[in-house]
């Protein structure tokens, strides 16, 4: 399997890779997570053992994949990248597991999507560095036993609650990645502007940070757009006015909400009178999947206190009505 998927010269993947930190010390925020990981890495290295298996959970874009590439770099080992959605049968695991070298890392993103039948093979792989695979059926069935090199599994999930307890318990280290502060994102924007050779001042970086929903990936995406805009409209230099105008132009508002977030609030308020409404009903009306809403849209709206989840469904808060400049329904 490929170690890292390749991308065209300056496609979005390439841009993302350019800004992705290579070492723990290049990462912003997550200080406590980084401190714990450093201890675990140094201890394992000192003993000459592979690092214990690690599970990262948290909303998208907060650094799970980044950690999964930085940790092997710190340890001077290689990483294979897999996705839970691509491991639909036990045989899909084989190329990865047989390719692991001693102390190398196997990263499985979206590990909650690994089906039960495949998950069971991970148990022995993680615990005893061994897999027993049954090939064929009935009288022709035979079991193949593979000894694996001792390796480290790094799993990432946006849905820790969907992992079965036996799988969850096989990770020695579990880290939750939380949102970044505006100051941390501001630091990230300034650092990455330098990497992209963009001239930017502190207030402009702060404005981009505040409109990035506490998420490094979004801060980077917004910075790329602001850079393009500045190049064409402002001789390449980013001031707070340039940052505001360019982000307004792509529908990113003062709270960092994008069109989809506002579409969610608008639907909840206009169609469902502000709720309570079930997630499925909102998803159907917006014509997007409920998973997308639950993983990518709602966490930030909840965190921003624009919606609440009640037993009867989602409800818009008065802050949401105010932000959307929509009147609450009259009784």
| 263 within 8 A of 292, measured Cβ to Cβ | no
| Span 4-23, contacts to ligand ATP by CB under 6 A | 16, 19-21
Alpha-carbon distance values, 207 to 19, 75, 249, 304, 306 (Å): 19, 36, 14, 17, 20
Our answer to whether residue 217 is catalytic in this structure is: yes
Tell me if 66 contacts ligand ATP by CB under 6 A.
Answer: yes
- In order of 42, 103, 166, 190, the CA distances from 169 in angstroms are 23, 20, 5, 39
Is residue 28 involved in binding ligand ATP (CB under 6 A)? Answer: yes
- Cα 173 to Cα 64, 111, 158, 168: the distances in Å are 14, 15, 16, 10
Q: Which is nearer to ligand ATP, 175 or 277 (CB)?
A: 175
> Which of 20, 103, 211, 217 is flagged as catalytic?
217
Contact status, residue 177 vs residue 18, Cβ threshold 8 Å? no
Q: Which residue has the tokens 């929509």?
A: 326
Q: Does 304 bind ligand ATP (CB under 6 A)?
A: no
Alpha carbons 168 and 288: distance in angstroms, whole number: 30
Rounded Cα gap, residues 291 and 113, in angstroms: 12
Active site residue 309: no
* Catalytic status, residue 325: no
Which among 157, 158, 215, 267 is annotated as catalytic? 158
Q: Which stretch binds ligand ATP (CB under 6 A): 27-35, 79-87, 309-317, 321-329?
A: 27-35
- Applying CB under 6 A, the site for ligand ATP has a residue count of 22
One of 64, 210, 214, 262 is an active-site residue; which one?
64
Q: Is 70 in the site for ligand ATP (CB under 6 A)?
A: no
All residues at 6 or more sequence positions from 301 whose CB lies less than 8 Å from its CB, including other chains: 257, 261, 264, 265, 307, 320
- Measured from the CB atom, the residue of 62 and 297 that comes closer to ligand ATP is 62
Rule CB under 6 A: which of 119-158 touch ligand ATP?
156, 158
Concatenate the DSSP letters of all residues of 131-183 into one string.
EEEEES-GGG-EEEEEE----EEEEEES-GGGS-HHHHHT-SEEEE--PPPHH
Site for ligand ATP contains 27 (CB under 6 A): yes
Residue placing its CB nearer to ligand ATP in the complex, 19 or 106: 19
Q: Does 64 qualify as catalytic in the annotation?
A: yes
Q: Is residue 182 involved in binding ligand ATP (CB under 6 A)?
A: no
Assess 30 for contact with ligand ATP (CB under 6 A): yes
Site for ligand ATP (CB under 6 A): which residue of 84, 90, 206, 216? 216
In the three-class reduction of DSSP (H, G, I as helix; E, B as strand; rest coil), residue 51 is classed as: coil
Q: Does the annotation mark 285 as catalytic?
A: no
User: Which residues are at the interface with ligand ATP (CB under 6 A)?
Assistant: 16, 19-21, 27-30, 60-66, 109, 156, 158, 188, 216-217, 220
Active site residues: 64-65, 109, 158, 217
């Amino acid at each position: 399997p490929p170690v890292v998927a390749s991308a065209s010269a300056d496609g979005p993947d390439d841009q993302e890779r350019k800004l992705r930190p290579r070492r723990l010390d290049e990462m912003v925020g997550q200080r406590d997570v980084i401190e714990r990981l450093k201890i675990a890495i140094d201890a394992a290295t000192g003993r000459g053992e592979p690092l214990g298996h690690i599970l990262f959970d948290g909303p998208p874009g907060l650094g799970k994949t980044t950690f999964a590439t930085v940790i092997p770099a710190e340890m001077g080992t290689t990483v294979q990248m897999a996705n839970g959605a691509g491991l639909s049968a036990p045989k899909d695991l084989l190329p990865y597991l047989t390719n692991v070298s001693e102390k190398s890392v196997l990263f499985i993103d979206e590990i909650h999507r690994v089906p039960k039948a495949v998950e069971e093979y991970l148990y022995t792989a993680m615990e005893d560095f061994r897999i027993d695979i049954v090939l064929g059926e009935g009288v022709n069935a035979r079991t193949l036993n593979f000894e694996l090199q001792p390796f480290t599994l790094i799993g990432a999930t946006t849905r820790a609650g969907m992992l079965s307890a036996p799988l969850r318990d096989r990770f020695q280290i579990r880290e939750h990645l939380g949102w970044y502060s505006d100051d941390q994102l501001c630091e990230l924007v300034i650092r990455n502007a330098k990497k992209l050779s963009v001239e930017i001042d502190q207030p402009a970086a702060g404005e981009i940070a505040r409109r990035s929903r506490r998420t490094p990936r979004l801060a980077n995406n917004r910075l790329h757009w602001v850079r393009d805009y500045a190049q064409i409209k402002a001789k390449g230099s980013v001031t707070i006015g340039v940052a505001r105008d360019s982000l307004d132009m792509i529908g990113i508002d003062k709270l960092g909400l994008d069109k989809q977030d506002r579409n969610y609030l608008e639907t909840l308020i206009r169609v469902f009178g502000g709720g309570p409404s079930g997630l499925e009903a909102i998803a159907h009306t917006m014509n997007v999947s409920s998973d997308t809403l639950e993983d990518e849209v709602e966490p930030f709206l909840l965190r921003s206190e624009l919606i609440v989840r009640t037993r009867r469904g989602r409800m818009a808060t008065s802050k949401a009505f105010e932000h959307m400049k929509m009147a609450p329904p009259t009784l």
